A and B are shown apart, each in its own frame.
Chain A
């Protein structure tokens, strides 16, 4: 098995890992937080949040 064949398998493996991470975190986040919190973002309401983070 030459280097490029190894790299092909490594690329498949890394892709699966990235995908699994995203799916796992997505599932956990959707389970842990309510829809009201997750979809609470409103346009033009971030300035107050920025101030809060500075404190």
Chain B
């Protein structure tokens, strides 16, 4: 390719078949872990406990482990397929190569909707959390909008500036939020003194029988929903065949541990009737432990988990949108890469106003429903994808 100057210092990076600027391969397994766990961990801090309201604490535990089994399969599918289809777009790119263009287009749109709506939901939650802190200090009537807008604009700016800083930030705050769950468990388990947990009194069987277990199932997804987002980093990891399986499977293990510990602590501190309706159950558990340190730790953990989720969502939605633009499923204008920051900058900017409109103008429950429905539609493609997936193409096997 004589028309390509591979020694250029102005535009660092020249590919052999026309790529002059592309996404930067700088990520390792820890960043993949942070991307997957970061999107999900907020589900441990809030949301999962509605399963308790549907069928009691034991039903929530059954839902937690059954959903964990299903999501372990999701993690293994993504680990295997994406390490061989290592390109931005994740499930969209898998569908393009394995199923066909129509499925790819639909999956791509589901991905963008799921992540952009989840970003908006996280921003709304950040506004709520700041308002809660203001209320605790005696200030009432806080305007949540500037904090909602700031969370989206700051994270969009971070994503615009580069993927390494973005996911390193996610790594730090996600690790903090995970460690906070571990500390809460250790502090309340009785290992370091008297335990405030009362499982014997609070675990009262299945109040609605096995129908309650069935009703609890869909909230069991909250413990893990989003781990499949690790695949969006496929084009930016240094070693896809190593980093993607390592980061994704470490991520699902982390979530299984965090989910079980979260259930154990919360179910031992709150009666199921209260826990099933709590807005921030882990923070409430910390308050009930009677420790100011734990209360502050879990309060910061809740905020960090929410920020990490929004951060990962911006990253993933923009990669899916970018990949669709690059493949001409959308205007190719969206397939642009920033020559200096090496990020899909037009896709990041384009999705900002959409997230802002939904975060400022739509109710939280509708935004979350929009996100989860898009995610579930995306999941319907995965078994088809796995059945059609051929790790050794016929022409190579012959």
* A15-B149, A18-B157 known; A52 vs B21 contact (CB < 8 Å): no
How many residues on chain A are close to B (CB under 8 Å)?
Answer: 35
* A43-B93, A43-B326 known; A38 vs B336 contact (CB < 8 Å): yes
Tell me, yes or no, whether A31 is within 8 Å of chain B by CB.
no
How many residues on chain B are close to A (CB under 8 Å)?
Answer: 49
Partner of A48, one of B15, B160, B235: B15
Please indicate the chain B residues that have their CB under 8 angstroms from the CB of A35 in the complex.
333, 336
B149-163 CB mask vs A (1 if < 8 Å, else 0) is: 110011011001000
Stretch in contact with the other chain, from B114-122, B139-147, B166-174, B191-199: B139-147
Please indicate the chain A residues that have their CB under 8 angstroms from the CB of B25 in the complex.
46, 49-50
Secondary structure call for the B interface: loop
Tell me, yes or no, whether B98 is within 8 Å of chain A by CB.
no
B15 and A42 contact, CB distance less than 8 A = yes
A41 and B326 contact, CB distance less than 8 A = yes
B19 and A45 contact, CB distance less than 8 A = yes
B22 and A46 contact, CB distance less than 8 A = yes
A4-24 CB mask vs B (1 if < 8 Å, else 0) is: 100011011011001101110
B156 and A38 contact, CB distance less than 8 A = no
A18 and B93 contact, CB distance less than 8 A = no
Secondary structure call for the A interface: helix
Tell me, yes or no, whether B13 is within 8 Å of chain A by CB.
yes
Stretch in contact with the other chain, from B53-61, B74-82, B252-260, B337-345: B337-345
A12 to B150: give the CA distance in the assembly, Å.
Answer: 7
A2 and B153 contact, CB distance less than 8 A = no
A40 to B21: give the CA distance in the assembly, Å.
Answer: 6
Partner of A50, one of B160, B238, B338: B238
B335 and A41 contact, CB distance less than 8 A = yes
A33 to B344: give the CA distance in the assembly, Å.
Answer: 15
Tell me, yes or no, whether B102 is within 8 Å of chain A by CB.
no
Please indicate the chain B residues that have their CB under 8 angstroms from the CB of A42 in the complex.
15, 17-19, 22, 326
Give chain A's interface residues, CB within 8 Å of chain B.
2-4, 8-9, 11-12, 14-15, 18-19, 21-23, 25-26, 29, 33, 35-46, 48-50, 52-53
